Amino acid sequence: MIANSLYQPVSGLKLALGAGDGSRDRGAMVLDSLARIDEVDPRINAMTVVIPREAAMANAVAASGPLAGIPVAVKDIYDTHDLTTSYGSPIYAGHQPQSDAAIVTLLRRSGAVIVGKTTTSEFAYMAPTVTRNPCDMERTPGGSSSGSAAAVAAGMVPFAIGSQTGGSTIRPASFCGIAGYKPTFGLLPTVGMKCFSWSFDTVGLFAASVADVAYLAQALSGRQLAVGDAGDMPVVGVPESYPWTKASANATAVLDVAIAAIEGAGGRVKRIRFDSWMADLIDAHDTIQSYEAWRALGYEYDHRRNDLSPLLAGFMDRAGLVDTATYAKACALMGHARDRLAQLFEGVTALLTPSTPDEAPVGFDSTGDPAFNRNWTLLGCPCVNVPGLQGERGGSIGVQIIGRPWDDARCLSAAAFAERAIAAYRA
């Protein structure tokens, strides 16, 4: 890692196991988290608000469940009754919801201590935030879940909640060198999330490793998603080419390392080819997202357009031109594509692609390109960013494991296999 790095992720799974047998004090976990926030967040700017120490300690003492006492940060597009929620917009500065979003309730019921809210691109679109990448302070952390990814990468919290409508979980996880998990669409509830596109908005999870994020997913979903050290040898499908942005030579080299690592560990790689309908989904995603955002953010556009960023205001101007017939056609195309999705997974456990076209851009005028993520969000597939690799310029680039909808357990297991294989290969 480069000289100006603040990268120091903490394993939430290890903390959970320690807290479970009494060897780790729940209050100490919270104090460690708050101390790390005090130490590094003035430079990273990942947090929008932090819970008072006394309230955090009281919550830790009362906590019980699989996440008992574990500090978690929540993206600032989810309502929290005890912390302000601004959705990344000056329109909602100081806004105090009266209730929690459903995912926040699930966290509290599982014993998590919500220590603060994290920065988000405005309404979870693409406007850059003030947050810096802990791996390299001169690079973007990605978006829109900028603060959630950065908070985990810097060790402020072991777990964080983000979201994905295009590539807002996988992309920042890739740039920040941590695990990011976008579940199957609908697996985790979005009630109480500021809506951008109701067909795509998905809760996203961040943690240090795939095993960590799988544990968090299991605690919140009630499904058997945790992964162990042993598992089936996966067969991963690797596309011959992509109908969207071409992967850089940098990302291609990283993918080649992952392929070699997987094969070296006993997994198999199968080359696959995308049919033409995969290319059609690029425009379909834009059409559906635009039509729905025009309605979801209708109040803000109609009454406070001047308070929107130029990037979002311009998007909304174009979004208003999408008519219902065009939207219906795109939705029909999405439905047909989901019906044909099984073809992509014939003979393979999961698919393997770069998570992003390249390592994180230097500078802060962009959150990066979600090209390698949008189609999978449209198709509702579970996706996992597998960390552990770097580009030639020293920036983190992940590889993405993609599973069949509602096959999240196998997707996470394949991702954990890939992560272990990469670590062994680089050792």
Of the listed 89, 121, 144, 148, which one is catalytic? 144
In three-state secondary structure terms, 362 is strand
Of the listed 110, 145, 148, 168, which one is catalytic? 168
Asked if 159 and 70 touch (Cβ cutoff 8 Å), the reply is: yes
- CB-side neighbour CA atoms (13 Å) of 384: 33
Q: What are phi and psi for residue 426, nearest 5 degrees? A: -85, -10
Residues forming a β-bridge with 252:
none
**H or E, element range at 270:** strand 268-272
75 carries an active-site annotation: yes
Show the tokens assigned to 241: 């080419």
14 carries an active-site annotation: no
In three-state secondary structure terms, 53 is helix
| Strand ranges for 98-148 from DSSP E | 113-118
Q: What is the Rg, in whole angstroms, of the alpha carbon atoms belonging to the chain?
A: 20
Show the tokens assigned to 191: 């009630």
Distance CA 170, CA 386 (A): 9
Q: What are phi and psi for residue 12, nearest 5 degrees? A: -70, -30
**H or E, element range at 407:** none
Asked if 384 and 422 touch (Cβ cutoff 8 Å), the reply is: no
The sign of the CA dihedral 208, 65, 77, 50 is negative
Distance, first Cα to last Cα, the chain: 15
144 carries an active-site annotation: yes
Local structure of residue 277 (DSSP, 8 states): H
Of the listed 75, 117, 182, 194, which one is catalytic? 75
Asked if 142 and 172 touch (Cβ cutoff 8 Å), the reply is: yes
In three-state secondary structure terms, 204 is strand
Reference 196, options 355, 78, 356; nearest CA is 78
* Beta strands 235-239 and 350-354, pairing class: parallel
Asked if 74 and 34 touch (Cβ cutoff 8 Å), the reply is: no
Active site amino acids? 75, 144, 168
